[in-house]
Amino acid sequence: MRNIYFDHAAATRIDPRVLKRMAPYLTKRFGNPSSLYSLGREARAAIELSRKKVARVLNVNSEEIIFTGSGTESDNLAIFGVAKAYSDKGRHIIVSKIEHKAVLEAAKKLEKEGFEITYLKVDPKGLVDLREFKKALRPDTILVSIMYANNEIGVIQPISQIAEIIQKFRIGRSIFHPFFHTDACQAAGALSLDIGKLGVDLLTFSGSKIYGPKGVGCLYKAKNIKLEPMIVGGDQENNFRAGTENSALIVGLAEALELAEKLREKESKRLMHLRDYLIKNILERVPKCRLNGHPLKRLPNNINISIAGVEGESLALMLDKHGIFVSTGSACASFDLAPSHVLLAIGLTPEAAYGSLRLTLGRNTTKMEVDRVLKILPKIVYKLRNISPSPFARPS
Amino acid sequence: MPKKESKKNNGVFILKERIQETDDVAILKFFPQGGKNFSFRPGQFITVCFTDNRCYGQGKPYSISNCPGDEFLAIAVKEIGRFSGALHNLKIGEKVKITKPGGYFYPDEQMKNLVFLAGGIGIAPFYSIINDCFKRGVGGKNLALFYSSKTEADNVFSKELNELAEKWRGFKIIYILTRQEKDRRNGNREFQRLNAKILKKYLKNLNNKHYFICGSIEFVNDLWKELKNNKVKEDNIRVESFY
Amino acid sequence: MKIKYKYKYKEESWVYSRIVKNHFFHPRNVLLDDAHYKADGIGVAGSPTCGDMMIVWIKIDKKSRKIKECKWRTFGCASAIASTSMMSVMVTEKGGMDIKKAINLKPQQILERLGGLPDRKFHCSVLGDIALREAINNYSKKQPKKYAKKRK
């Protein structure tokens, strides 16, 4: 029985078409893109073509694309880069409470260095409160970072509306800041990344979630924004990110993004259909179970549920025995024993966070796989509930 | 006059005093809000929880370091992580929730020959047990405390413990300093990790004694294995691991 | 492009030891019907807020003072479930453990039988230990004073 992989938000398998494009750059076309001779120029050409491809999908200029080593690195570069470059204009940054740790930890680090951070609350469905956001904006705000779509609960933020609010604020005060950054690692391939329509100044995405290789990311940065680089040395990536470029990974990233964009509309529809079918049936077949996050403003492939009375790690390990791979927001499964900060931010009690499961569908997910999970999950919940103290009251 | 004792399972306590013992260890004294303190056996622990969302409502266990009969509960907190950091940042007057004391880490009355093995902040429950023992009369008990820490600067309660050792003949302290340079000063001091060889040097015979081990998971596991490998009965060993 | 895999990967080991895996997938002594079980002592440890909670029910042989039965229910991760299961086996095997010995059961002893757990899962065994002790204390409190004097 083949494994059922329902954790595409964590990692995706490299598409064979992407792998084919990458392969020569792992073997015969190994030149350093900065070298003078043809072997180097060949690699350089591949990278610049990749840059063009990415720019085309984002509807921006090539020079505004910076390749990095991961989504986390891109997030860090955006946040630290802007903070350090514009600290003379202000030291206030706004992020949401449900940002990825790559953004939150960067913000916390800046806080220790004297920056002031506003952590915007979200409503029980995960959406940022736009009125609160307007109130939080100050003349000394230099950066706003709000993720396009959340990796845990899939909620999609109103990015263009937020961009509009920021633009009005900037014009109203005749200043050019705050800059608007969005982490689009989960949104890529599912939602449009057209920068013109989104209105952001910086955008992050990576290869690992779009059927491309791991170890490569991208930061879109609007032309005139200054950025203090984190990795210094050579002058690669326009002096924004030193280090010999990994041609294979960059080629893979661009190819994966192009492919994902081509398939986006059809795939999103197909996945949304499967997702809603899965959600509806889980809620019907598993008693005392709830969906986390917004039911509609949600990534087409994301299902996040809390199941009362059972704990996430046990659920995930039992599913693993049946060849079904999912993830959980439970503390027991995390290294630092902390429950998911996203689930707590949307108002879940710690118990509900412990009993949470995240299933994220993908390109190869079939209805047959979904049906098999629907068959097995209720049995596992029943088994674990049988050994769970219920209903958490002390016996008299 | 017998003090009134709380019969509830948990209560609200207020931080009224804070003593910085070393760079990273602080003693926090909590007084009950309702006036009634918990009763406890020295060596037991309480679970401390913040009243708001700090640390997601989780509580952590801490050994009580003061004596029964006091009007407060004192804990020794070493700052090593998120929870202990938050405890260190508590202001005087702030409230916490504390559960009824529990645990089995205390000597029974009839135990005469006691050996306490304390690793770092693991000294906390022993401080309570030793003080209480002294208060109620040592009654022919013999007690050897092996206190392991990195350097003398990391020691907590050593001044008070040394004073007690001078007054009580049956009580001796051996300091185990794992990261300090060896020197020729007097006193029972060893400069390597605590092991059975050191125990035998000071105890002569490992039999017929009751062992109490308190410290980090690693410290307790190592000594638990050492004692068992040297034929000490499992029933004669009690442990408390800090995690 | 054809990539030849030279090495065959061994079946990867489980996230915990084989014994933990066994007790997690086949837990022993779970109490299925707590409404009708007449326990001599009941103990609770942990809470759902903390992510682990155990209830332990014990039956004591009045003459020998040994634990005849030890049933439990646990909300928690695989380590928590396996720890309570192993603990229940340890106190009831070989005719049952004397409650004087059982009250001194240490998490280290549970861990040894489980084949070890990662340090960050250590508290799961501690909780099993606490729940058992609560159950024994609960039983002792209900006994005539003669037996209950040393217990808290």
C31-45 per-position pLDDT tens digit: 988 888 999 999 999
Q: Which residue has the higher pLDDT, B199 or C34?
A: B199
Q: How many CB pairs under 8 A join A and B?
A: 10
pLDDT in tens, A245-303: 999 999 999 999 999 999 999 999 999 999 999 999 999 999 999 999 999 999 999 99
Residue C13 lies in a domain: no
Q: How far is A174 from chain B (nearest CA, A)?
A: 40
Distance, C-alpha A342 to centroid of its chain:
13
Q: Which residues lie across from B59 on neighbouring strands? A: B49
Which of chain B's residues have a Cβ under 8 Å away from the Cβ of A338? 56, 82
Residue C8 lies in a domain: no
Helix (H) or strand (E) holding A385: helix A367-386
Residue C147 lies in a domain: no
Cβ of A37 under 8 Å from any chain C Cβ?
Answer: no
Contact A354 C54 (CB under 8 A): no
Residue A203 lies in a domain: yes
Cβ of A11 under 8 Å from any chain C Cβ?
Answer: no
Q: Which residue of A has its CA nearest to B56?
A: A350
Closest CA to A9 of A220, A198, A255, A190: A190
Domain identity same for A90 and A145:
yes
Domain identity same for A242 and A314:
no
Q: Is residue B1 very low, low, confident or very high in pLDDT (cuts 50, 70, 90)? A: very low
Contact A389 C74 (CB under 8 A): yes
CA-CA distances (angstroms) from residue A388 to A119, A319, B100, C97? 36, 17, 25, 25
Residues of the domain holding C24: 18-141
Which of chain A's residues have a Cβ under 8 Å away from the Cβ of C58? none
- For residue A246, what pLDDT is reported? 96
- For residue B34, what pLDDT is reported? 82
- For residue C11, what pLDDT is reported? 47
Contact A338 B53 (CB under 8 A): no
Cα(B203)–Cα(B211) distance, integer angstroms: 12
Contact call for residues B43 and B103 (beta carbons, < 8 A): yes
- For residue B2, what pLDDT is reported? 44
| Most B CBs within 10 Å, among A337, A342, A394, to test the B interface | A337
- For residue A145, what pLDDT is reported? 98
Give burial (CB, 10 Å; 0-12/13-18/19+) of A373.
buried
Cα(B186)–Cα(B190) distance, integer angstroms: 11
Which of chain A's residues have a Cβ under 8 Å away from the Cβ of B53? 344
Contact B57 A350 (CB under 8 A): yes
CA-CA distances (angstroms) from residue A312 to A335, A338, A374, B196, C15? 14, 13, 17, 42, 15
Of the candidates A225, A260, A295, which is a domain's last residue? A260
Which of chain A's residues have a Cβ under 8 Å away from the Cβ of B57? 350
- Tokens at residue A195, please? 């920068």
- For residue B187, what pLDDT is reported? 75
| Most B CBs within 10 Å, among C99, C103, C106, C119, to test the B interface | C106
Residues of the domain holding A207: 16-260
Q: Domain total for chain A?
A: 2
- For residue B90, what pLDDT is reported? 92
Query: In the 8-state DSSP scheme, what is residue B102?
Result: B
Residue A394 lies in a domain: no
Residue A219 lies in a domain: yes
Residues of A with catalytic annotation?
A: 332
CATH of the domain at A313: 3.90.1150.10
Cβ of C121 under 8 Å from any chain B Cβ?
Answer: no
Residue A208 lies in a domain: yes
Residue A391 lies in a domain: no
DSSP assignment of A127-196 equals -B-HHHHHHH--TTEEEEE--SB-TTT-BBP-HHHHHHHHHHHHHHHT----EEEEE-TTTTTTS---HH
Which of chain C's residues have a Cβ under 8 Å away from the Cβ of B56? 49
Domain identity same for A22 and A34:
yes
CB within 8 Å of chain C, chain B residues 202-231: 217-218, 220-221, 224
Residue C127 lies in a domain: yes
Q: Beta-strand (E) ranges in chain B?
A: 10-20, 25-32, 45-50, 59-63, 73-78, 95-99, 113-119, 142-149, 171-177, 189-190, 210-216, 237-242
Contact call for residues B100 and B52 (beta carbons, < 8 A): no
- For residue A97, what pLDDT is reported? 96
Domain identity same for A81 and A146:
yes
Residue A378 lies in a domain: yes
Cβ of A392 under 8 Å from any chain C Cβ?
Answer: yes
Domain identity same for A352 and A256:
no
Dihedral of alpha carbons B30, B33, B39, B44, sign: negative
Which of chain A's residues have a Cβ under 8 Å away from the Cβ of C74? 387-389
Q: How far is B84 from chain A (nearest CA, A)?
A: 14
Nearest to A389 among C1, C51, C55 (CB): C55
Cα(C152)–Cα(C147) distance, integer angstroms: 12
Mean pLDDT to the nearest integer, B37-43: 92
* Those residues with Cβ within 8 angstroms of residue B17's Cβ, 6 or more apart along the chain or in another chain: B28, B29, B72, B92
Residue C12 lies in a domain: no
Of the candidates A245, A260, A275, which is a domain's last residue? A260
**Phi-psi map region of A134: left, alpha, beta (phi>0 left; psi -120 to 50 alpha):** alpha
Q: Is the peptide bond before A178 cis (omega within 30 degrees of 0)?
A: yes
pLDDT in tens, C81-133: 999 999 999 999 999 999 999 999 999 999 999 998 988 888 888 888 899 99
Contact A23 C81 (CB under 8 A): no
Residue A395 lies in a domain: no
Of the candidates A260, A275, A297, which is a domain's last residue? A260
Q: How far is B104 from chain C (nearest CA, A)?
A: 7
Helix (H, G, I), strand (E, B) or coil at C7: coil
Q: How far is B56 from chain A (nearest CA, A)?
A: 7
- For residue C80, what pLDDT is reported? 94
Domain identity same for A319 and A370:
yes
pLDDT in tens, B41-100: 999 999 999 988 777 778 889 999 999 989 999 999 999 888 999 999 999 999 999 988
* Those residues with Cβ within 8 angstroms of residue A44's Cβ, 6 or more apart along the chain or in another chain: A33, A34
pLDDT at C5 over 70: no
Flag residues of chain A having pLDDT under 50.
392-396
Chain A interface residues (partner B, CB cutoff 8 A): 331, 336, 338-339, 344, 350
Which ipTM did the prediction report? 0.85
CATH of the domain at A185: 3.40.640.10
- For residue C123, what pLDDT is reported? 87
Residues of C with catalytic annotation?
A: 50, 124
Contact call for residues C43 and C133 (beta carbons, < 8 A): yes
pLDDT in tens, B163-190: 999 988 889 999 999 998 888 787 789 9
Domain identity same for A151 and A207:
yes
Domain identity same for A139 and A248:
yes
Domain identity same for A293 and A256:
no
| Domains detected in chain B | 10-99 (2.40.30.10), 113-242 (3.40.50.80)
Residue C53 lies in a domain: yes
Nearest to A392 among C48, C81, C121 (CB): C48
Contact call for residues A181 and A199 (beta carbons, < 8 A): no
pLDDT at C13 over 90: no
- Tokens at residue C129, please? 């230990």
Which of chain C's residues have a Cβ under 8 Å away from the Cβ of B108? 150
Contact A350 C74 (CB under 8 A): no
Cβ of B58 under 8 Å from any chain A Cβ?
Answer: yes
CATH of the domain at C38: 3.90.1010.10
- For residue C148, what pLDDT is reported? 46
Residue A318 lies in a domain: yes
Residue C9 lies in a domain: no
- For residue C2, what pLDDT is reported? 61
Alpha helices by DSSP H, listed for B92-216, are 123-136, 158-167, 196-203
Cβ of C29 under 8 Å from any chain A Cβ?
Answer: no
Q: How far is A388 from chain B (nearest CA, A)?
A: 20
Which of chain B's residues have a Cβ under 8 Å away from the Cβ of A339? 56
Q: How many CB pairs under 8 A join B and C?
A: 42
Domain identity same for A237 and A287:
no
Domain identity same for A240 and A273:
no
Domain identity same for A86 and A98:
yes
pLDDT at B6 over 70: no
Q: Domain total for chain C?
A: 1
